Amino acid sequence: MQDRETDGHRARKRFGQNFLSDPNIIRRIIDAIRPQPGETMVEIGPGLGAMTDPLIERLDHLHVVEIDRDLIARLRERYPAERLSIHEGDALKFDFASLCTDPTKPLRIVGNLPYNISTPILFHLAEFAAQVKDMTFMLQKEVVMRMVADPGTEDYGRLSVMLQYRFRMGRMFDVPPGAFRPAPKVMSSIVRLVPLPAEELGASDEDLFGRIVTAAFGQRRKTLRNTLREFLDDAGFAALGLDPGLRGERLSMAEFVTIANYCAARGPRS
């Protein structure tokens, strides 16, 4: 007997498919997004259309990015092209800036992101922050907790620093496993990301900033003296007023920016 919730479609593990099916949760998510006619909205991974239906009801047009050809065929049968633009492909490689054709209508991006590749997708999307108004996603709760974590906490790490540098973020509410078909083994959460204004992005060399953050968390049990030795010597730590005996999770995002700007101004170490 076919599962009515998945309409006969077998969820594919390689695509990380867990289809949202609880109408109350769907309604709550749509109410949180508050889609408005005239907005440029993109849904990543529409799946069986649980969120697509109510989004299209409130929008003039919707863009979706989907990799599963079976689901794409269903979407084409279900929605007219003038209401839904389907972009077939991998969201990890998709050029989201190509959809922002009117600078007065920055993108609003939503979706139930595949949990198995959620972190790479978030880093990919961060590259398009200048074209984005906001993003609202369902993710594994553990990932969301890492995104919004404070310095000095167990969840705080590279993901926290890199996303907090570019976005104002807030965890909205949790979604239990029973809201999906098939049910995942983890709790999910809804998170909203709003890009920060360009003038608030303080790193003079963002690539250097990223390398420093990656190094600091590459070996979490080691101190900054060891993890950042490529970037700072004892004189550098002293100039910045930083204790080299600390670990990376003790530094705030702003402190990482300060380190990166110091290194950028000083130039390469001899």
pLDDT (tens digit, 9 = 90+) per residue, 159-212?
999 999 999 999 999 999 998 887 878 899 999 999 999 999 999 999 999 999
Assess whether 213 and 119 both reside in one domain: no
Assess whether 40 and 54 both reside in one domain: yes
What's 77's domain CATH number? 3.40.50.150
Final residue before a domain boundary, out of 171, 200, 229: 200
Q: What is the CA radius of gyration of the chain?
A: 21
- Hey, what are 137's tokens? 């996603």
Give 15's strand partners.
Answer: none
Assess whether 188 and 212 both reside in one domain: no
Check residue 30 and give its pLDDT: 96
Is-contact 38 60, C-beta < 8 A?
Answer: yes
Assess whether 195 and 251 both reside in one domain: no
Check residue 261 and give its pLDDT: 98
Distance of alpha carbon 78 from alpha carbon 6, whole angstroms: 15
Assess whether 170 and 220 both reside in one domain: no
Assess whether 184 and 258 both reside in one domain: no
Is-contact 256 214, C-beta < 8 A?
Answer: no
Assess whether 131 and 227 both reside in one domain: no
Please report whether residue 126 resides in a domain: yes
Assess whether 68 and 101 both reside in one domain: yes
Cβ atoms < 10 Å from Cβ of 94: 20
Check residue 184 and give its pLDDT: 79
Q: How many domains does the chain have?
A: 2
For the whole model, what pTM was predicted? 0.90
Assess whether 166 and 248 both reside in one domain: no
Assess whether 133 and 157 both reside in one domain: yes
Domain that holds residue 111: 13-200
Which parts of the chain register pLDDT below 70?
1-17, 269-270
Distance of alpha carbon 176 from alpha carbon 156, whole angstroms: 24
Distance of alpha carbon 132 from alpha carbon 59, whole angstroms: 17
What's 227's domain CATH number? 1.10.8.100
Give 223's strand partners.
Answer: 247
Assess whether 74 and 153 both reside in one domain: yes
Is-contact 140 186, C-beta < 8 A?
Answer: yes
- CA–centroid distance for 7 within its chain: 29
Final residue before a domain boundary, out of 172, 200, 228: 200
Check residue 269 and give its pLDDT: 66
